[in-house]
Structure formats: C-alpha cells, structure tokens
Amino acid sequence: MSSAIPWASPLAQYRAHRAPIQSAINRVLDSGTYILGAEVESFERAFAEFCGGGHAIGVASGTDALILALRALGIGPGDEVITVSHTAVATVAAILASGATPVLVDVEEACMTLDPAALDAAVTPRTKAVIAVHLYGQAADLDPILAWARRHRLALIEDCAQSAGGRYRGQRLGSIGDVGCFSFYPTKNLGAVGDGGIILTREAKIAARVRRLRQYGWDDARETHEAGLNSRLDPLQAAILHAKLPHLDADNTRRAEIARRYERGLRGLPITTPAERGGTEHVYHLYVIACAQRDALMAYLSDRQIGCAIHYPVPVHRQRGYVERIIRPGGGLPVTERICQQILSLPLYPELSDADVERVIAAVRSFFAR
C-alpha cells in the first residue's frame, strides 16, 4: 500500500534543514539567554532586511502580531476595523481582542482576497483601519486598497500570516502598508517548531510602541507607561527561523513549481484552480481548488491516503462565537458564502516529491473519470 501524503508536513521541513536547525538550538541552549536577547534581535534584523528594510519586532504568535499592531496604532474600544470573513478566524479574533469591532466584507471571486469595491459601503466615522489578508500566499489587491485607505485617512495592516516572501509590484508583502503581521506557525512558508510571529513597520514610533507593548508596556527601565502583554518571540524559535530564512525564497519557488504541475495535470476537469493576480508573486502557502463535488472528492482522496483540508469551511460571520460581535455592511457576503462550500486544499509543501504530486493528480482525475 502506498504511504500517506499529508496536506502539509512540518516534519519534512525540519528534516530538510535538520543540521542548521539543530545547530541553532544548541547555540541558544549554550548561550544561557532564554528570553529575547541577541538571537531574537539578530533574527529581527535579518527578517526586516529580507522584507526590504524597516523595523521587525518578534512576538509570540501571528494573532498577537495583529493585536499589538492594532494597539500600537491606537485602535481600541469604539473603533471599527474592516477586513474579510473568508480568513483564518485569528484575523477577526485579534480585532475583538483589541476592543474594536470587526466589519466584514466580501472577497473577489477569482483571487479570494478582499474586494476593494466592497470598502465604500463599509466605512463609517468610527472606521480606523483596514486589514488586507494575503490569503493562501496570494497578495490582496493593494494598490486600490491602499489608495482608498489613504483617501479616508485610515491605517492599512497587511495580514501576511500565509504569505511570507511574497511580492506585490516588486515589493515584499508586509512592507507596503503601515504594518505587516506575520505568523510562524509550523505549517507556514517560514515555520517555527511552535508558535511565533513578527510585526514589520517602517515607522520608528510604531515599532517602539510595539516593543513596549509586547512586554507589559515596559520602557528600558522596566517602568510601565501603558498596559501591555507578555508576547515575546522565544529565542529558540528565533534561531530556528533565522536558520531557515535563507531557504525561504527557494522553498517558495518549489511551491510555485508544484502549483504549475497541478495546474497542468488538472486541466480540463470540472474544477477551478487558483488564479494568480498580475504583477504579484504568489507563494502558495496552500493550493486551493474549487469543486462543486468538494465533499465527495475529499472523501475519495482520503480513502486513497491523500490528505486534504478546507480553508475555511465556515466563514467567520457564520461562527457562533462571532456572529453577534461583527458588522456586515449590507448584510450579505455572496462570494464568501459560495466559495466556502466548494474550496479544497490539496497537498503542497516544498518537500513534496514530483511522484507524490503526480499521485494526487491521478487520484483527482480518477475521481472525475468514474
């Protein structure tokens, strides 16, 4: 019997970079510094340089990155923040955790990211920011979103949890808006071996405030000027991430190669394969197809030991813990409602072999040939 193919494999990623990761871990353990310190600072500088400059501040998770970014921008109770319902729930959870109210709008059909045409109906005098989610590794359409935000004097936060290394018009994602927020969850394109996140900004004042807020609101003398969190990137995770960062572009290139192979192999089937926005570099955190027979196809693949997942089966505005705490301008999100019934993530990670990609393609084709 063939071995199982997972939809993602942090273990394969570790094995691919085992030697530098183990060296990084040993270095941290031997240093005796286990909270913040030189390892975190070194990774912060390297990540900022990778993204084209600015300031990078390591935090405990991608969710905390969003919370701290909102707080550093002065956003809280009484304010509204516009984002999408078709996203990981963390995006909306962070808005609520900051004390603000999420205003959820629809996505574009082709790229499944925030629809700039939906913004005008969502803005009110209480709106303070918009969070553009670069979903699945695909850049949101930042030119019109940023122009709209500037016109209304609003902050633009890029949710880059799934898009590390991606580009829009030649610029790294996370470096275009006021703040970029990244997750290093183990399945991400740049993944830790636990939780981790980072905030990227070109504004020194925002960076300084985030650095205070991530550690109780302390200044250098450990005097608290405002209430903060305990949200520090662990030096072990920072060292591991620093060891993997030089391989990120090559890993993303491999992800794109696998996506091209899927595109060719699945051509002609009654499914929709991922679109790529012109002028961008899609880094394929996930390879998400749309299929009217999604559930049957998922069961068929599972029976053949091919892992797949749904990102995301229930949009945030339909989830019980959020439905009464969000605003939906106009009441309907028709594209979001439709795609959540059809989307399916096929296996994709840099270490996936060409043979396994062909096995996934053959299984999908055999489903439709029955």
Q: Which domains does the chain have, with CATH numbers?
A: 10-246 (3.40.640.10), 247-369 (3.90.1150.10)
Q: What is the largest CA-CA distance in the chain?
A: 70
Question: Residue 135: is its pLDDT beyond 60?
Answer: yes
From residue 301, how far is each of 5, 206, 220, 368 by CA, in Å?
Answer: 10, 47, 55, 12
Global pTM value: 0.97
Per-residue model confidence as pLDDT tens digits over 165-189? 999 999 999 999 999 999 999 999 9
Q: What is the mean pLDDT of residues 292-314?
A: 97
Please report where in the chains the tokens 């955790």 appear, as a residue. 97
* DSSP 8-class letter at 349: -
pLDDT recorded at residue 265: 98
- Residues with Cβ within 8 Å of 264's Cβ and at least 6 positions away in sequence, in order, are none
Show the tokens assigned to 231: 């949200």
Residue 2 — pLDDT band, cuts 50, 70, 90? confident
Does 351 have pLDDT greater than 80?
yes
* Residue 284 scores a pLDDT above 60: yes
Q: What is the CA radius of gyration of the chain?
A: 20
CB-CB contact of 153 with 291 (8 Å): no
Give the Cα separation of 358 and 103 in Å (integer).
Answer: 42
C-alpha distance from residue 130 to each of 19, 105, 122, 253, 341 (Å): 41, 11, 10, 30, 26
- In DSSP terms, which residues pair with 340 in a beta bridge? none
CB burial readout 261-297, b (16+ within 10 A) else e:
bbeebbeebebbbbebbeebbbbbbbbbbbbeebeeb
Strand (E) positions, the chain? 55-59, 80-84, 101-105, 127-133, 155-159, 167-168, 171-172, 179-183, 197-201, 271-272, 280-281, 287-291, 343-346
Contact 112, 138 (CB under 8 A): yes
pLDDT mean over 334-349: 97
Is the pLDDT confidence value at 331 over 80?
no
Give the pLDDT score at 320.
94
Complete DSSP assignment for 216-283:
TTB-TTS-BSS---B----HHHHHHHHHHGGGHHHHHHHHHHHHHHHHHHTTTSSEEPPP--TTEE--
pLDDT beyond 70 at 109: yes
Angle between helices 354-369 and 248-265 (to 10 degrees): 30
When pLDDT is averaged across residues 65-74 and rounded to a whole number, the result is 98
DSSP state of 107: B
Residue 147 has pLDDT above 60, yes or no: yes
Start-to-end C-alpha separation, the chain: 21
A 10 A CB-CB count for 59 gives 30
pLDDT attached to residue 1: 56
The mean predicted confidence, pLDDT, of the chain is: 97
- b/e sequence 109-144, b meaning 16+ C-beta within 10 Å: eebbbbbbebbeebbeeebbbbbbbbbbbbbbbbee
pLDDT over 70 percentage in the chain: 99
